[in-house]
Structure 1
Amino acid sequence: MITRVVVPVVIGLLYVVVMSLIREPHRRRFNAVMLAGAGGAYLSGGGLDGWEFAFTAVITYCAYRGLDSWTFIGVGWLLHTAWDVLHHLKGNPIIPFAHDSSFGCAICDPVIALWCLRGGPSVVDLIRSRPGPLKGSGGVTTVQ
């Protein structure tokens, strides 16, 4: 059970770290494209008939608006989370041969959404700029 939750969270965190390597404004635009792709993930047999097309249209709108807004990207990932839950309960999994894949996606997506709703900051830059006990001392500490 713990791996069903921990692994998707780790995947979400890895996504955030990798995306942090892309400089702005390209990071936001690239994430908008990723959201658009995720919006069509269930089209090939999600099991919810015409609703799959309606959902894809909503996510496409969020992705388009996301080209200029991290908030729309974050909202889109939260909508995708709800869609994952619905598929886990009533539809087909996002990966046909992995029964719990929609459940995992529903755990992973909010991690990405929260990062997007914070403006998609570079966690790499945040770590680099964080003052540490040895920062600026050349690695040598002195006792006074």
Structure 2
Amino acid sequence: MNLVSPIIVGIVYCLLMSLIEEPHRRRFNAIMVGGAGAAYLSGGGFGPWELPFVALTAYVAYRGLESWTFIGIGWLLHTAWDMAHHLKGNPILPFSHDSSLSCAICDPVIALWCLRGGPSLIAPVRRWLRPSRTADPGERRARPGPARRIAG
């Protein structure tokens, strides 16, 4: 399994989410973490214990509608659930043995972004992609002085 690709997926997720304006970005991410909490329902690897986990993540997602912190907590809860499923041998994608482990690597990347308040990453990427235009060291721009009142 490649350990780098889940990290890249998490970063790409955060970049794509940055295209959504606030407060819609926070609310959309609350819905996403709520959906992630129900991802294992069809596999039922932990039997009836899947239901309390879904209820917990639904509550955390609901609180996430108004709080990035709760969204981050939701992704960390999902990380723990991913690891439990990976260790039990019941992956999120039955045809991909390491899918839960990959998810457990990706989710903390998203959680860290959420715990930082889900800031837009578009502006820093634009600055990184565009080389800065520095003025020639010998060149100085005239700064406008303070506005003067004319006595009269």
TM score, norm. by length of structure 2: 0.84
Q: Corresponding residue for 2:71? A: 73
What do the CA deviations read for 1:19-55 (whole angstroms, capped 9, x no partner)? 0000000000000000011010000013100110010
Q: Which amino acid letter does the alignment assign opposite residue 14 of structure 1?
A: V
RMSD: 1.8
| 8 Å Cα contact 2:27/2:64 also seen in 1 | yes
Count of aligned residue pairs for this structure pair: 137
What do the CA deviations read for 1:75-117 (whole angstroms, capped 9, x no partner)? 0000000000000001510011111000000000000000000
1:18 has 2:28 as partner: no
Q: Corresponding residue for 2:32? A: 34
1:122 has 2:135 as partner: no
Q: Which amino acid letter does the alignment assign opposite residue 142 of structure 1?
A: D
SS at match of 2:11: helix
Q: Which amino acid letter does the alignment assign opposite residue 136 of structure 2?
A: T
Alignment of 1:1-144 (within 5 A): 1=1, 3=2, 5-128=3-126, 134=132, 139=133, 141-144=135-138
Hey, which of these two has a bigger chunk of helix by percent? 1
Distance 1:133 1:41 in 2: 42
TM score, norm. by length of structure 1: 0.89
Unaligned runs of 5+ in 1: none
Unaligned runs of 5+ in 2: 139-152
Larger radius of gyration: 2
Query: Identity, % of aligned pairs?
Result: 64
Distance 1:75 1:34 in 2: 13
| 8 Å Cα contact 2:89/2:97 also seen in 1 | no
| 8 Å Cα contact 1:46/1:87 also seen in 2 | no
Distance 1:108 1:124 in 2: 20
Moved over 4 A (4+): none
